[in-house]
Amino acid sequence: MRKQIAAANWKMNLTLQQSEALMNELLAIPHTLNENQQAVFGVPFPYLINVKNKLSGKKNAFVAAQNCYDKKSGAYTGEVSAEMLKSISVDYVILGHSERREYFNESHAMLAAKVNISLENGLKPIFCCGEALSVREAGNENNFVETQLKESLFHLSAAQMTGFVIAYEPIWAIGTGKTASNEQAQQMHAHIRSVLAKQYGQAIADSISILYGGSVKANNAKEIFAQPDVDGGLVGGASLVAADFAAIINSLK
C-alpha cells in the first residue's frame, strides 16, 4: 500500500517563536498515523533542526526542506546543499514548487539535477508539477504536466522511482481560494499515474504517492483524499493553523 501523506509547506512564514507555538499546539492535538500514513513538515531552513527535535519519537512524522541547490558545494552564497540537509538528518525536500519555477526560473534540467543530488544524499524528493490557468483553459494541462515529469524525472531508474512522491499543484488553485473539483483532481492524478505506468510499469506507478496541492483545507481534505489516485496533500496556508492541519492529517485514508 502506497503512503498517504499530509505535507505542510510553511513557505516563507512564521518567526522562530511563532513556529514553536504552532508545533506545540499541533502536537497537543490528538491524532494517530497508521503504518501507511505520514505527516511531513516543510519548514524554512532556520527551523529544520528545531522542528525535527520536536518530532523526535513521533511515529511517521518527518521534516522537509523547501528547496536545495543543484551543486554539491562551492561559491554559491546563500544556497543550501543536499549534503548540508543530509548532515542534519532531514528526511524530505520539496522540489519544483510552482513558486520556485516562476520566481527563480527553475528549469526542467535544473530540477533533474536537484532530484539527482537529493537522491544521492538520501533525501526523498517531493516533486511538484502543475499548470497555470492559461494552460488549462487551452486544454493542454495533460501534455504540460507530462512534459514536466518526463524532462525532470524520466532519467531515473525504476528502483529510484519506486515509492517516489509527486505533488500535483494546479497553479490556478494556489492561494486563490479556488480548488479543483474532486473530479478534476482525480482526472489529473490518474493521468500522472498512467504516464508513470507507461514509463515504469503499473506496479511502480501504483507505489508512487501523488499528493494534491491546491488550496487543501480542513473542510475539503476528506473528500479530495477519498479520490482513488489522490494520496494526500501538499498544504500551504492551512498548515499554519494547528487545528486545520491536524484535521487534514486525520483526513488521510
Q: Which of 77, 72, 12 is nearest to 44 (CA)?
A: 12
> Quick one: cell of 74?
562551492
Region for 130 from its dihedrals, namely left if φ exceeds 0, alpha if ψ lies in -120 to 50, beta otherwise: left
The 8-class DSSP code of residue 3 comes to P
Kindly name the residue from 97, 106, 131, 146 that is annotated as catalytic. 97
> Quick one: cell of 174?
494556489
The 8-class DSSP code of residue 33 comes to -
Residue 135 near residue 144, CB atoms below 8 Å: yes
CB-count burial class (<10 Å; 0-12, 13-18, 19+) for 108: middle
Q: Which of 19, 11, 124 is nearest to 62 (CA)?
A: 124
> Quick one: cell of 179?
480548488
Residue 191 is among the residues annotated as catalytic for this protein: no
Residue 108 is among the residues annotated as catalytic for this protein: no
Q: How far apart are CA 30 and CA 100, in angstroms?
A: 34
Q: Which of 213, 131, 224 is nearest to 171 (CA)?
A: 131
Q: How far apart are CA 132 and CA 9, in angstroms?
A: 19
Kindly name the residue from 99, 131, 169, 189 that is annotated as catalytic. 169
> Quick one: cell of 21?
507555538
Residues annotated as catalytic are: 97, 169
